[in-house]
Structure 1
Amino acid sequence: MSKPRIDYAAVFHALPGMVALLTPDLVYADANEDFLRLAGRTREQLVGRYIFDVFPENPNDPAAAGMRETQASMLRVVATGERDTMALLRYDIEDPERPGRWVEHFWSPVNAPVLGPDGNVVLIVHRVEEVTELIRARGGTGTDSSRARVLEAELYTRARELQELNERLRRAHARDREVALALQAAMLPAPTPIGHHRAAVRYRPAVGTLNVCGDWYDLVDLPGDRIAVAVGDVVGHGLRAACVMGQLRSALSAAARVADGPAQALEALGLYARYVEGAESSTAVKTYIDWATHTITYSSAGHPPPALLHSDGMVAFLDQATDPPLGARPEHVPRPQASTSFTEGATLVLYTDGLIERRLEDIDAGLARLADSLVRHGRSDPEVLADALLDDLLPPEGNNDDTALVIIRL
């Protein structure tokens, strides 16, 4: 089926309400039928003429400011390329059939840009709501009554301005969230193969426009049959948190390759975090898994403890080497480190607080839920287990915090 051919010029002229198009020099390029009718001008009287030659200020009103305010608004649009909603204004119009007679009018204008291929403003869309009759209909002719009517109409205009501002903020926040998510996706790739060992990773962003956070994970191959696994969480939201996350993840990944163990790697990260704006109080946990000795060595900087599901179905939380978050101490202090053994078939789970923490609930309740879910699904393949944990532990309507999850079958 062929697409209908649309006569956009005809659509423009038929638009309800007063709409005119002006060049960046404030010269009329066109006006729709309602604009011509309500302004009392013909197209020939407008097109090609400077706006304030067609509609000059009332010379009998020394306090009139409609021309100055309208000009300032349109020039802002040209300079910024952004829409400008004007407050209610009084702008009298000379009667075209009775020169010298000025008719009182109240207008509520909005000026919006039309951008060319180079991003510059090529036209200004001047949309006007004629509210003169509305103000008159509210009654009264005295000065106090007129001021009250103007105030009422201006409150209406301000409410509309707030609606438009909220929409612009929503779009800006959505763009910020989109960029942050793209950055996180680029920095949190699927893990590289770790020999014959099976692993699964997941990242779930928070619901809501403003809640993109700085959760991350990292897996590093080490010499011998060893790997280093880490998860971390940056305080804050949005693009800034995502950028800090990328810096900390990269720094810890590099430190893991040269450090003697997880505590030393976190010490190096803590020193680095002092010089990264926004990294203060970030948390992280680092584990080294050695299949030759069947041991897990770990250290935590203020992060929830990893969970170890033993092959006999028991769950243990690795919480014997917990220290304050990164940059929390004014002086450098060596971080603690602990080790535990495992048998073949056990499962190690690292995660961020979005998986277990809920507002107004003790963290122990979240840890108990995680342990229960691990016992019920622990024999599953890591990929299946990862999805099961998310289904069990995250609210069905989505969480207000990000969640990173790493599962290693030992």
Structure 2
Amino acid sequence: MAEAGIDYAAVFRALPGMVALLTPDLRYADVSDEFLRGSGRTREHLVGRYLFDVFPDNPDDSAASGTRNLGASLRRVLATGEPDTMALQRYDVESVDSPGEWEERYWSPVNAPVLDADGRVVLLVHRVEEVTALIKARSGPKDSRARVLEAELYTRARELQAVNERLREAHAREREVALALQDVMLPAPGPVGHHRAAVRYRPAVGSLNVCGDWYDLVDLPGDRIGVSVGDVVGHGLQAAGVMGLLRSALSAASRVADGPAQALEVLGLYARSVEGAENTTAVETCIDWDTHTITYSSAGHLPPALLHRDGTVDFLDEATDPPLGARPEHVPRPQASLTFSEGDTLVLYTDGLIERRGEDIDTGLARLAESLGRHRTADPEPLADSLLLELLPAGGTTDDTALVIVRL
């Protein structure tokens, strides 16, 4: 019994399918009870014996290729340490009760490695799906070529299913790595003077459309801060890498540029040299508490929202230009400013917060304004939670969401 109290040998033998464990020299180490039933052999016939001594090719069939194909698949698994799904095989089996008589059989095998701690293949899992009855039942009076074609169609469907499963597993691993990278590159912000701020990042659910969004808050000389959000086209690890480059570049540019427009101009020039950065959207704002002004510029991004104390909302949409890299030539970007009152709230966000498929963008903006108005007295942290709860669908969205809220 294992430490967890599970008899894994008994579990293996009770598997509801034809499964065998093979040693690297292709001898049977163990077989499931269903493998015994399906193959018509006893455990004594199999365990310890060489695979192709038990199941050789039919000597009366000069075209038989089962041992050659299966052997090649098993050697691929041994060499690569990766699973291998085989095409449907006609693999005739000698009758136990009538030696010399061969039964027409169709098997669909999958072979997978069992690795030790050093990554060496120590066992092979050989799973066989017996489809003989299905092939014969569908064959009827068809000639042998029609039967083979039908069998091949079945095989291709199984191969596609196996490929899709591998892709899902690969996507899941990439998603985990990309999210971990995103978490490192988007930490909680440090203090922004004596001002209150909240940030949130929510990844897309059930999708690889993650890790293209970013936010940033930068302390500037005087009682000023720079606040930005952006959205890289693409998803997964590539988008996360591009996001990190652009976020760092804009953070540096905003510290030395003469305003948000110039910072985005610098970022746009840099983006031309970064593969995957084209058509990124971003908005940069500069909040100045000494003059009570917000200066901003947008590269194709959704407009920030300014929530006033009376619950009204203004969208900062007077300085919008195309996304990064959308123009072949360099053109100065627009910039605009407006005043704010103490107690107002600035909200920057990415499209996952408001955009919904088949819905006009103005509907999403109106929904945001209405939610902001109802929570106008909330501090940034609870306001951020309320917006996500009310505006994101219960099951999540197919795009990730970044959100920054600053109390002015």
Q: 2:207·2:398 contact (CA, 8 Å) conserved in 1?
A: no
User: In structure 2, what is the equivalent of residue 69 of structure 1?
Assistant: 69
Distance in 1 (alpha carbons) for counterparts of 2:161 and 2:338: 57
Amino acid aligned to 2:340: F
- 1:216: Cα distance to partner? 0.8
- 1:228: Cα distance to partner? 0.5
2:306 aligned with 1:308, yes or no? yes
Relative to the length of structure 2, the TM-score reads 0.91
Q: 1:215·1:234 contact (CA, 8 Å) conserved in 2?
A: yes
2:72 aligned with 1:92, yes or no? no
User: In structure 1, what is the equivalent of residue 237 of structure 2?
Assistant: 239
* Closer, same or farther: CA 33–184 of 1 in aligned 2, 3 Å: closer
Relative to the length of structure 1, the TM-score reads 0.90
User: In structure 2, what is the equivalent of residue 378 of structure 1?
Assistant: 376
User: In structure 1, what is the equivalent of residue 351 of structure 2?
Assistant: 353
* Closer, same or farther: CA 205–34 of 1 in aligned 2, 3 Å: closer
Instruction: Tell which deviates more after alignment, 377-386 or 155-164.
Output: 155-164
User: In structure 2, what is the equivalent of residue 253 of structure 1?
Assistant: 251
Distance in 2 (alpha carbons) for counterparts of 1:6 and 1:376: 55
Instruction: Tell which deviates more after alignment, 77-86 or 316-325.
Output: 77-86
User: In structure 1, what is the equivalent of residue 9 of structure 2?
Assistant: 9
Gaps of 5+ in 2: none
* Closer, same or farther: CA 219–51 of 1 in aligned 2, 3 Å: same
Distance in 2 (alpha carbons) for counterparts of 1:133 and 1:346: 73
Aligned with 2:311: secondary structure? Answer: coil
* Closer, same or farther: CA 230–14 of 1 in aligned 2, 3 Å: closer
Distance in 2 (alpha carbons) for counterparts of 1:33 and 1:20: 10
Distance in 1 (alpha carbons) for counterparts of 2:236 and 2:362: 28
2:130 aligned with 1:163, yes or no? no
Aligned with 1:64: secondary structure? Answer: coil
Distance in 1 (alpha carbons) for counterparts of 2:159 and 2:153: 10
Deviations 1:355-396 (A, max 9, x none): 222222222222222222222211211111112222332223
- 1:16: Cα distance to partner? 4.6
Query: What is the aligned residue count?
Result: 407
User: In structure 1, what is the equivalent of residue 265 of structure 2?
Assistant: 267
User: In structure 2, what is the equivalent of residue 80 of structure 1?
Assistant: 80
Distance in 1 (alpha carbons) for counterparts of 2:110 and 2:360: 51
Instruction: Tell which deviates more after alignment, 222-231 or 75-84.
Output: 75-84
- 1:4: Cα distance to partner? 7.1
Distance in 2 (alpha carbons) for counterparts of 1:251 and 1:208: 30
User: In structure 2, what is the equivalent of residue 23 of structure 1?
Assistant: 23
User: In structure 2, what is the equivalent of residue 317 of structure 1?
Assistant: 315
* Closer, same or farther: CA 154–373 of 1 in aligned 2, 3 Å: same
Amino acid aligned to 1:112: A
* Closer, same or farther: CA 249–57 of 1 in aligned 2, 3 Å: same
- 1:3: Cα distance to partner? 7.3
Aligned with 1:349: secondary structure? Answer: strand
* Closer, same or farther: CA 378–64 of 1 in aligned 2, 3 Å: same
Aligned with 2:210: secondary structure? Answer: coil
Distance in 1 (alpha carbons) for counterparts of 2:280 and 2:52: 58
- 1:335: Cα distance to partner? 1.3
Q: 1:213·1:235 contact (CA, 8 Å) conserved in 2?
A: no
Distance in 2 (alpha carbons) for counterparts of 1:340 and 1:4: 65
Q: 1:226·1:291 contact (CA, 8 Å) conserved in 2?
A: yes
Instruction: Tell which deviates more after alignment, 244-253 or 76-85.
Output: 76-85
- 1:41: Cα distance to partner? 5.0
Q: 2:220·2:226 contact (CA, 8 Å) conserved in 1?
A: yes
Amino acid aligned to 1:122: V
Which of residues 211, 226, 229 in structure 2 aligns to 1:228?
226
Deviations 1:260-306 (A, max 9, x none): 21111111111110111100000100011111111111111111111
Distance in 1 (alpha carbons) for counterparts of 2:15 and 2:290: 76
* Closer, same or farther: CA 40–186 of 1 in aligned 2, 3 Å: same
Distance in 2 (alpha carbons) for counterparts of 1:340 and 1:98: 94
Aligned with 1:268: secondary structure? Answer: helix
User: In structure 2, what is the equivalent of residue 117 of structure 1?
Assistant: 117
Deviations 1:117-151 (A, max 9, x none): 112211111122334445445575x7x44554454
User: In structure 2, what is the equivalent of residue 207 of structure 1?
Assistant: 205
1:126-145 map, 5 Å: 126-136=126-136, 144-145=142-143
Distance in 1 (alpha carbons) for counterparts of 2:390 and 2:15: 53
Gaps of 5+ in 1: none
Q: 1:355·1:403 contact (CA, 8 Å) conserved in 2?
A: yes
Distance in 2 (alpha carbons) for counterparts of 1:136 and 1:349: 66
Distance in 2 (alpha carbons) for counterparts of 1:7 and 1:316: 66
- 1:13: Cα distance to partner? 4.0
* Closer, same or farther: CA 139–399 of 1 in aligned 2, 3 Å: closer
Amino acid aligned to 2:263: A
Amino acid aligned to 2:277: A
* Closer, same or farther: CA 284–38 of 1 in aligned 2, 3 Å: closer
User: In structure 2, what is the equivalent of residue 336 of structure 1?
Assistant: 334
Distance in 2 (alpha carbons) for counterparts of 1:18 and 1:25: 20
Aligned with 1:257: secondary structure? Answer: helix
Distance in 2 (alpha carbons) for counterparts of 1:71 and 1:238: 37
- 1:227: Cα distance to partner? 0.5
Instruction: Tell which deviates more after alignment, 37-46 or 393-402.
Output: 37-46
Distance in 2 (alpha carbons) for counterparts of 1:364 and 1:134: 56
User: In structure 2, what is the equivalent of residue 286 of structure 1?
Assistant: 284
Instruction: Tell which deviates more after alignment, 150-159 or 204-213.
Output: 150-159
- 1:111: Cα distance to partner? 1.4
